[in-house]
Amino acid sequence: MLGQRSFSDLGTPLYDVTFVILDLETTGATAANCEITEIGAVKYRGGELIGTFQSLINPGAPIPPTITVLTGITQAMVIDAPKIDEGMASLLEFIGDAVIVGHNIRFDMSFLNAAALRLGYGRLSNRTVDTIGLARRLVQTEVRNLKLSSLAAHFRSPTKPNHRALEDARATAHVFFELLERAGSVGATYLEDLLRLPTAKGRPHYDKLHLTDRLPRLPGVYLFHDLDDNVIYVGKAKNLRSRVRSYFYGDTRRSVTTMLRNLARVDHRVCPTELEAEITELRLIHAMAPRYNRRSRPPKTTHWLKLTAEHHPRLSIVRTYRDEGSSYLGPFRSKQAAETVMTAIWDAVPIRRCTGGPGRATAACNYAQLGIAMCPCAGDIDEARYTQVCEDVRVGIAHEPERLLAPLAERMKARARDQRFEDAALARDRFQALAGSLNRRRQWQSLQAAGRLWVESADGDSALIDQGRLASTWTSGDGSPLFNIAGDDALEPSQVPTSIALQEEVQIVWRWLIRPGSRVIDTVSPLASPARPVPSLEALAG
């Protein structure tokens, strides 16, 4: 059951929206040096007329003859009319918080905002709808042009536009409600849909918008299916209906166009919290590997970096994690990512790089000859010193990260002093890759040690986390979960996550845990980070 917490971007049914359809007559084309001469507006709610506003305005300046010819408004007609300060006060009271509708609404709003700013009201915050934009989206192929007179004639408006404000506003209202009927036929039945409709770019697939009609305005996960009912995309949303519909409103990416072409059905799963939606999305992507998901898609091969258990240990990239007492980092999505971290450690300590055993070569390998690695291949390795190098790697990974990171920071500073900026940037990137890997390892081990956690966030969401994995979530209105906090259904202990999916879930959970205001309600063991944090590059580089 969902709690009482509201979510942003919830839509409003069009029958609950108050619309004010207005038109202005002015002394010219630009608000910078022209003035309003007449205001006409009609107010509707639920399709019913609930108010009318009409007033001539004394512009305080001569009305050009061309404007008099066009509108029929003469200088004599406005001599006794109210000034704009009086007219604006009455108009703003009439409009209130309604949605403002007009034909070429930008023109009308430019004059209203100019007057409102000049009079100290500030810019109008009302949302606006332009009947030109709606007509372009919905009936452009049915009319010769998008002029108000053409649209009024096309929809057989009882009021003919005549360049007088109230009559033009009434004609615009008739056109607007005809366009609303067309908009409803393609699924735009909420205000948010109507506001986005004029800018929709997905014309070739816009007829599929009806596939979103059953989506709720709640947080959760959505799944796109193709004609063979295969899941081709998985995503998460705070508002399922709004997010899925956004693909039809202005997303011109080629991949999205192709995805919509193959779209046949939209499924969804409502989640009580955003955290659960994010985790559910991740799990579904790893389980189904939808072809249009790029982020979080499971890699073909997973890699770990391992300090081997040989007599002279070395770093090795492996595809299988085995808890055999060796030190591990990872998992990594690609071999290249693992190689970056391995090279970072190579730069920090002179650990063996070659695979040759003691005395098997007539000469030392290239790494040993260059003095950048201690290798046993030539048979003259200093055993005590090499043992210390391996100890630096083990302790650096497990407890004292500065043993590995401080040399990298110093290396970056030295390259920068020598103006070898590309090499300095390379050292920086390797530092960050190693630091990130060490941090992820620590997050995993902290959550493993804590066991089961009941955590509540600042906004009232709660979660049960079991050794880094999300077990359940609920909102403040749902009470507390029924579970045995001392339960022993645990994962086998491991140094690092045993899959990419598990590592990425732990990262999501950890980000949620450390948000300001989160607090642990109950736990099997304390949630604690190592006493010596992974230092930042700034802290070490000074």
Distance (Å, rounded) from C-alpha 440 to C-alpha 125? 45
Task: Quote the CA–CA distance of 330 and 398 in Å, as a whole number.
Answer: 13
Cα–Cα distances in angstroms (integers) from residue 300 to residues 334, 336, 510, in the given order: 9, 14, 26
- Of 183 and 532, the structure prediction assigns the larger pLDDT to 183
- Number of domain units in the chain: 4
**Domain co-membership, 432 together with 448:** no
Catalytic residue numbers?
163
Q: Note the pLDDT tens digit of each residue in 461-473.
A: 899 999 889 998 8
| Domain span holding position 233 | 200-288
**Tens digits of per-residue pLDDT, 209-220?**
888 888 998 899
Mean pLDDT over 512-538 rounds to: 86
Q: Which of 416, 439, 462 is the last residue of a domain?
A: 439
Same domain, 24 and 160: yes
Query: Using one digit for the tens of pLDDT, what is the confidence trace for 315-335?
Result: 999 999 988 888 999 999 999
Give the pLDDT band (50/70/90) at residue 245. Answer: confident
Q: Answer yes or no: is pLDDT of 363 > 80.
A: no
Domain membership flag for residue 251: yes
Residues 121-140 have pLDDT tens digits of 999 999 999 999 999 888 98
405, 535 in Cβ contact below 8 A? yes
pLDDT band at 8 (very low <50, low <70, confident <90, very high): very low
Which residues lie across from 267 on neighbouring strands? 223
Rounded to an integer, the average pLDDT of 229-242 is 94
Terminus-to-terminus CA distance in the chain, angstroms? Answer: 52
pLDDT class of 6 with cuts at 50, 70, 90: very low
Helix (H, G, I), strand (E, B) or coil at 388: helix
Kindly report which listed range (203-212, 330-339, 512-521) carries the lowest average pLDDT score: 203-212
Q: Which of 222, 253, 288 is the last residue of a domain?
A: 288
Q: Is the pLDDT of residue 187 over 60?
A: yes
Is 427 within a domain? yes
Q: Give the pLDDT score at 324.
A: 81
According to the model, what pLDDT value does residue 483 have? 43
86 shares a domain with 134? yes
79: in domain: yes
CA distances from residue 325 to 178, 304, 321, 451 in whole angstroms, order as listed:
74, 14, 11, 22
Is position 532 within any domain?
no
Question: Could you tell me which of 216, 273, 254 has the C-alpha nearest to residue 472?
Answer: 273
* Domain end (from 420, 439, 458): 439
pLDDT band at residue 487 using 50, 70 and 90 as cut-offs: very low
Non-local (6+) Cβ contacts of 8 within 8 A are: 238, 239
Q: Do 432 and 460 share a structural domain?
A: no
**Co-location of 161 and 212 in the same domain:** no
Position with higher pLDDT, 80 vs 193? 80
pLDDT above 90 as % of the chain = 63
Is the model's pTM score more than 0.85? no
pLDDT, averaged across the chain: 88
> Out of 6-15, 208-217, 418-427, which region has the weakest mean confidence (pLDDT)?
6-15
Residue 26 bridge partners (DSSP): 36
Residues 278, 164, single domain; the answer is no
The pLDDT assigned to 287 comes to 92
Tokens of 452: 């089961």
Q: Is the pLDDT of residue 13 over 60?
A: yes
Nearby residues of 366 by Cβ (< 8 Å), 6 or more positions away: none
pLDDT exceeds cutoff 90 at 188:
no
Burial of 316 (C-beta count, 10 Å sphere; 0-12/13-18/19+)? middle
Q: Do residues 73 and 126 share a domain?
A: yes
Residue 9 located in a structural domain: no
8 A C-beta contact, residue 345 and residue 316: no
Residue 485, pLDDT above cutoff 70: no
**pLDDT at residue number 410:** 94
Mark whether 254 and 380 lie in a shared domain: no
pLDDT value of residue 486:
37
* pLDDT score at 358: 66
- Average pLDDT score over residue span 24-46: 94
Helix (H) or strand (E) holding 221: strand 220-225
CA distance 28 to 63: 9
Residues 42 and 177 in one domain: yes
pLDDT at residue 157 tops 60: yes
| pLDDT above 80 for 492 | no
Is the pLDDT confidence value at 4 over 50?
no
pLDDT band for position 264 (cuts 50, 70, 90): very high
- Whether residue 293 lies inside any domain: the answer is no
Residue 235 and residue 142 share a domain: no
CB-CB contact of 276 with 461 (8 Å): no
Residue pLDDT, tens place only, 279-294: 999 999 999 999 999 8
Q: How far is CA 28 from CA 60, 63, 175, 497, in A?
A: 14, 9, 25, 69
Do residue 395 and residue 452 come from a single domain? Answer: no
Mean pLDDT of 4-13: 49
Q: What is the mean pLDDT of residues 193-210?
A: 73
In this structure, what CATH number is given to the domain that contains residue 101? 3.30.420.10
Q: Is residue 61 part of a domain?
A: yes
Instruction: Look at residue 293 in the predicted model and tell me its pLDDT.
Output: 93
What is the C-alpha to C-alpha distance for residues 463 and 454, in angstroms, rounded to an integer? 6
pLDDT at 478: 58
Query: pLDDT exceeding 70 applies to what percent of the chain?
Result: 92
The answer to the question of residue 299 being in a domain is no
pLDDT of amino acid 9: 41
182 vs 102, more confident = 102
* pLDDT exceeds cutoff 80 at 359: no
What residues pair up with 23 in beta bridges, in sequence order?
40
Are 37 and 121 in the same domain?
Answer: yes
